[in-house]
Amino acid sequence: DIMSEQKRKNREKIDRFIELKERLFDSRDAGIYNDETVALTTSLLDLNPELYTAWNLRRDVLIALHGQSLNVKIVNEELLYVTKKLRAKPKIYWLWNYRKWLLQVDPSVISWDQELALVDMLLEADGRNFHGWAYRRFVIQCMENVQKTSLVDSELAYTEKHVKRNLSNYSAWFNRSQLISRLSKQTQDRSALFSKELELIKKAVFMDPFDESPWNYYRWVLSNFDDAERPGIVQNEIDELEELLEEEPDAVWCMETLTQLYSTYQPNTCATRAVQLLQGLVEKDPLRANEYKDLLAQ
C-alpha cells in the first residue's frame, strides 16, 4: 500500500545517507582530500543540508585542493550551489555560515549587488527570517569595507519599508537599532536622531498596541536619550501611554511598558501606580503571572 511504499523509500534514503556519511568520514580519517571527497559532501548535503560536518569538510577539502585563495570559478560555483540550498532551506545556520566564508575568500571578486539581491529576495519571501537579516548586516559591512563608504542611510530606508509592512518584524526593528546606534556615534545631535525615531515607533505602538515587537524598540529608543532631557520626555510618554491604556485597558504591553518606565525613571514618586499595573498584569497576562508576582514581591 501507499504507507508501506513510503516507508520503503524512507528506509532506502536513510541507508543511503548512512553509507555516504561512513564513506566521507573514512576519507577524512584517512586524509583523502580530493574531488571524490567533494562529490561525497555534495551527495550527503543533497540528502541533508543540516549536516554541518559535511560543510566543514567541504571547505577543508576545497582549501586543500586549491589553496586558501580559491579561484573565482570555484567561488562562483560554490555560491551557486549554496543559493540553490538556501532557496529550499533558508533557515539553516550552516548554509549561511558557509556562504559567509566564501565571501571572505576574496572580497574583491564578489558581486555584492548580487548578494544583496539574494538576501532581498529571501526577506521578501519571509521578512522575519533573522538569518537573512544577520547575513544582510554582514554583506553591508563587507560592502562598506570594499567601497569605503557608508550605507547606513539606504539601510535605514530598507528597514523602514519592512517595519511598515509588518509591525511584528522584530528582526527588522533589531536591524534598525544597530543602524541607529551607528549613527548616534557619528552625529552631534543625538537628541534629534532619537526624537525622530521616537516619532516613528510611537506611530507603530499606537497603531497596534497589542503587538510586542514595537514596544521593545520603543523602550530602547527612550533609554537612549541623554540623562538631562530624558525625564521630561519620559513624563510626556507616560501621560500619553496612560491615555492609551484608558482606551485599550487590555493592552498588556502598554501596561508592562508603563510599569518599567515608572519603576526605572520614577521609582520614588510612582511606586503605587507601578504596583497597580503589576496587579493588573497578573490578571490580564496569566501566562507570565508568576513573573509579575515576583516583581511585586520585590
Q: For residues 154 and 139, what is the distance between their CA atoms, to the nearest angstrom?
A: 14
Per residue in 169-185, pLDDT tens? 999 999 999 999 999 99
User: Residue ranges per domain, the chain?
Assistant: 13-68, 241-297
Mean pLDDT score of the chain: 93
pLDDT higher than 80, residue 111:
yes
Inter-residue contact 145 to 138 (CB < 8 Å): no
Instruction: Return the higher-pLDDT residue of 184 and 3.
Output: 184
Which helix H or strand E contains 144, and what residues bound it? helix 130-147
pLDDT, tens digit, 9 for 90 and up, residues 21-52: 999 999 999 999 999 999 999 999 999 999 99
Q: Summarize pLDDT for 66-96 with one digit per residue, the tens.
A: 988 889 999 999 999 999 999 999 999 999 9
* DSSP for 105-121, written as a single string: H-GGG--HHHHHHHHHH
How far out from the chain centre does Cα 63 lie? 30
Q: What's residue 6's pLDDT?
A: 81
**Exposed (0-12), middle (13-18) or buried (19+): which is 6, by Cβ within 10 Å?**
exposed
Please state, in angstroms and rounded to a whole number, the distance separating the CA atoms of residues 110 and 116. 11
pLDDT mean over 254-267: 92
Question: Is residue 2 predicted with pLDDT exceeding 80?
Answer: no
